[in-house]
Amino acid sequence: MTLRAQPIGVFDSGIGGLTVARAIVRLLPLENMIYFGDTAHLPYGDKSEAAIQAYSVKIAEVLLRKKCKVIVIACNSASSAAYELLREYVGKNVRIINVIDPMIDLVSRKFQGSRIGLIGTKRTVQSGVYVRKISELNKNITVQSLATPLLVPMIEEGFFNNQISHEIIAQYLSDPVLQSIEALILGCTHYPIIKAEIEAYYRNQLPVLDSSETVALALRDYLQENDLLNNDENAKHHFLVSDYTESFEATARLFFQKTVSLEKHPLWD
């Protein structure tokens, strides 16, 4: 297998990272991809930093053995907790792309001097990674953050686009912390699944920023700059899970509009 034909590795704790995987497939339809859903340990948002780092290292080892030419951390919690560790651990062998830095770049270019809202898991919000990185830009951008821990389990259980999800979303978005914002960052890769509901809450009058498309663009730029774009039209997508779940299989099938075959691959035997 040539270097160009080697797959792109994408991982997340569950179905949230499928939003990133779908954006990558749409933008780069000729690329082979291996997606790892760590369904045995979801959600990452309420796990300790040490636990997330341990899971991420084991998954990176799996994706390296699968000859991935790039690894995309399709999870905000893992991006904040394990990105630097993975760069040190496997960075000499493969490029690591996280979901946070492309969003920081977008905000710095388009929202200078603005008040930006951020919703995410407890892990992402408590890490302060968005606030820290945006403040380092010196672009007079204020970040107003709110942890929204019910959203991931709600989505994982299939509760979206219904009355229950509308009420939970409205409860969070009406929080005083998010008042007077001029844009909202979806600080979790699950949240694009409910992006339309969030936009509807704001009557489509507020920019709602999700990282899936920005990450796909960052990946494309990297592949172009390093002459790594694949040109084989028979792209293959493989889905690995640390534990089989029907919800993951159903969501993957919905996202990619085709039958998806899951390969169970426990992190620890």
Catalytic residues: 75, 188
At residue 35, the 3 state secondary structure works out as strand
Per the document, the length of the chain is: 269
Separation of alpha carbons 15 and 37, rounded Å: 7
Helices (H), the chain: 18-27, 49-65, 76-90, 101-110, 122-127, 129-135, 151-156, 163-173, 195-201, 211-225, 246-256
- Region of 90 please: left (phi>0), alpha (psi -120 to 50) or beta: alpha
CA distance 149 to 172: 10
Contacts of 171 (CB under 8 A, 6+ apart): none
DSSP tag of 87: H
Report the alpha-carbon angle 226-227-228, nearest 5: 90
